Structure 1
Amino acid sequence: MARFPALIVAACLLAAMPAISHAGGKYVAPVDDPLTRKVCGECHMAFPPGFLPGRSWSALMRDLSDHFGEEVVLPAEQAAQIEAYLVGHAGDAGTGRGLRDFMRWVAPDGVPRRITENPAFLREHDFPDRVWRDPKVVTKSNCQACHTGADRGWFDD
């Protein structure tokens, strides 16, 4: 009988881990919407929506004809569903999934188009150019080159 309460306590602690880790800035809720994960993940890691404010995700979704040099063609209903998910889980959405420390550096009327342009990102990733030129990294948006758990929301590697 003594093991049963211990199992309940252990289960509660495990369930609370993402919230505890999130508060420490090590965990960012990953994309859990199947359509968003599939469509965005075809070309790059589906970036956690908490890294940008909603207005940025709306701007990105409104201009898919030039999505960082590529044309993205989606049926209107899919684009609307993806935008609604991203905006609803954005860093400023107040859902508890955002990154307050990350968002506080975005100007109140700012619409960053890249996660890598956020001052918080730049401060945490102030590396010599040789790091970015490493063939395993290549681009600042290749989170998984250094953060092996990035697709699962873990960014403390």
Structure 2
Amino acid sequence: MIPKNRLFHALPRAAVAGLISLALPWSTAQSQTVNAAAKYQQECAACHMAYPPGMLPQASWKRILGHLNKHFGTDASLDEASLRELSIWLPANADTFRKVHETPPQDRITQSRWFIRQHDEVPSATWKRVAIGSAANCLACHSGAAKGNFNEDDVRIPK
């Protein structure tokens, strides 16, 4: 037992020792997270915006990854290593947006309750504008969408 007058000095050393012991696994996990995020950006943003993983629940990401050969009408198949990496990273980072509570129909972000609520003032004709194309084209109105910024103050709806 540490005497009471030495307890104060022992705690910081114990905390530092604990942090040092966690450093290696953390840096390895951090590296894997960076690699997976880069892989997600590389693979998914080649065709559409790489939606923030937090916009969908885990179950949606698992289904999407399980059916990439029929990804919303397109074959978006990945090599085994990329699929394995993203199958860990996407569900681990899923449903982090505080609005995401349920699985949207067909795992479509644009059909989620929170998305519909956020865009209820947007007339349906707006989505059909050539400069927008569909509700799934977040970048058309949210210039910071690629970085996860969907601040309403930054919205600019194209004519």
Structure 2 length as normaliser, TM-score?
0.69
Distance 2:111 2:138 in 1: 14
Which residue identity lines up with residue 36 of structure 1 in the other structure? Y
Which residue is 2:68 aligned to?
64
Aligned mates of 1:112, 1:86 — CA distance in 2: 17
User: Deviation at 1:72?
Assistant: 1.4
Q: CA deviation at 1:83?
A: 1.9
User: In 2, distance between residues paired with 1:153 and 1:86?
Assistant: 15
Q: CA deviation at 1:33?
A: 0.9
Is the aligned partner of 1:140 residue 2:135? yes
1:115 to 105, 109, 112: 109
Larger Rg: 2
* Distance in 2 (alpha carbons) for counterparts of 1:148 and 1:55: 28
RMSD after superposition: 1.8
CA distance in 1, matches of 2:106, 2:115: 12
Corresponding residue for residue 151 of structure 1: 146
User: Higher relative contact order by CA 8 Å / sep ≥ 6: 1 or 2?
Assistant: 1
1:5-154 to 2 correspondences below 5 Å: 33-91=37-95, 98-100=96-98, 102-104=99-101, 106=102, 112-126=106-120, 127-154=122-149
Report which of the two has the higher share of helix: 2
Unaligned 5+ segments in structure 1 are 1-31, 92-97
Return the TM-score normalized by structure 1.
0.70
**Counterparts of 1:87 and 1:68 in 2: how far apart (Å)?**
19
State the identity %: 34
The alpha-carbon deviation at position 73 of structure 1 amounts to: 2.2
Unaligned runs of 5+ in 2: 1-35, 155-159
TM-fit CA distance, 1:130: 1.6
Number of the residue aligned with 1:27: none
Residues 37-85 of structure 1: per-residue CA shift (max 9 Å, x gap): 1000110010000000111000000001110110012111211111211
Q: Distance in 1 between matches of 2:117 and 2:75?
A: 31
Contact 2:105/2:112, CA 8 A, preserved across alignment: no
